Amino acid sequence: MYPSENHDLDRALELAQTRTRNRAVRRRRMFAYGTGALTTAAAAAVIITAVAGQAQRQAAIEGAAQRPIEGIQPYTVPSPQAGATTGDKQEAAGNYHARAETACTTYAAPVEESLALHALEHGAVLLTYHPNLPEKELRQLEDIAASYPSVLLSPTPGQSEPVTATAWNVRLEVQDAEDERIEPFIIKYSQNPQAPEPGATCTGAATG
């Protein structure tokens, strides 16, 4: 075989090897792009499903708030008078309240009754729980309280039921934080017109 023929053969082999390597690189890139696209599509599907599920859940809660809520306990509340307090914390669906205002937020210690009553007068909802409530349920209550602007959450030693939701004139006692009536109660009675001053501030400086 002549030298030129050897050179041509070497060149052909080199080109064939280069094409093979290039095809392999392209296949790897296409696989990576395809995998990435599938991963992105799967992640988007999960997000869309989660958002749709949350929207359906919220719609169900708001629908429940439009209907009578089982277990509601009504109160007859005397006209509020700032400066004095009577009764115990569990009877905080009215009565006299403090002049100071407290913020609608989550508290690690019990909120003074007179402060809680002032918040209720402004249309807030007070969520209280027994200090022995399981940690998981406490986290659930904290999530609920953080989802609504007019909710105070605090522990209450001696409370007869594990969880109590109180608004002006009404109260709901439940056995656990997973009770499906809690959020409809908040929606139904938060800023309810039956409160003396619905819509007033719930951002006071006083803290329990």
If asked whether residues 101 and 169 sit together in one domain, one would say yes
Count Cβ atoms below 10 Å from residue 199 Cβ, excluding itself. 11
Share of the chain above pLDDT 70, in %: 57
The span from the CA of 146 to the CA of 24, in Å, is: 54
If asked whether residues 112 and 174 sit together in one domain, one would say yes
If asked whether residues 20 and 49 sit together in one domain, one would say yes
What is the pLDDT confidence band of residue 171, given thresholds at 50, 70 and 90? very high
Residue 148 belongs to a domain:
yes
If asked whether residues 19 and 86 sit together in one domain, one would say no
Residue 173 belongs to a domain:
yes
pLDDT digits (tens, 9 = 90+) for 45-88: 666 665 555 666 667 787 877 888 999 987 655 454 544 444 43
pLDDT at 110: 93
If asked whether residues 51 and 79 sit together in one domain, one would say no
Say how far residue 145 (Cα) sits from the centre of its chain.
Answer: 7
- Map tokens 């006692």 to a residue: 173
| Sheet strand arrangement including 170-174 | 73-74, 170-174, 163-167, 125-129, 151-155
What is the value of pTM for the model shown? Answer: 0.66
Q: Among 36-45, 67-76, 116-125, 147-156, name the one with the lowest average pLDDT.
A: 36-45
Residue 145 belongs to a domain:
yes
Name the domain count of the chain.
2
- Burial of 183 per CB tally in 10 Å (0-12, 13-18, 19+): buried
62 lies in which domain range? 1-67
The span from the CA of 175 to the CA of 117, in Å, is: 23
Whether 125 has a pLDDT exceeding 90, the answer reads yes
- Map tokens 């070497």 to a residue: 10
Structure tokens at 104: 């609608």
The span from the CA of 208 to the CA of 191, in Å, is: 21
If asked whether residues 113 and 177 sit together in one domain, one would say yes
If asked whether residues 27 and 94 sit together in one domain, one would say no
Let me know the angle formed at the C-alpha of 133 by 131 and 135, rounded to the nearest 5 degrees. Answer: 110
If asked whether residues 134 and 171 sit together in one domain, one would say yes
For residue 97, which amino acid is it? Answer: H
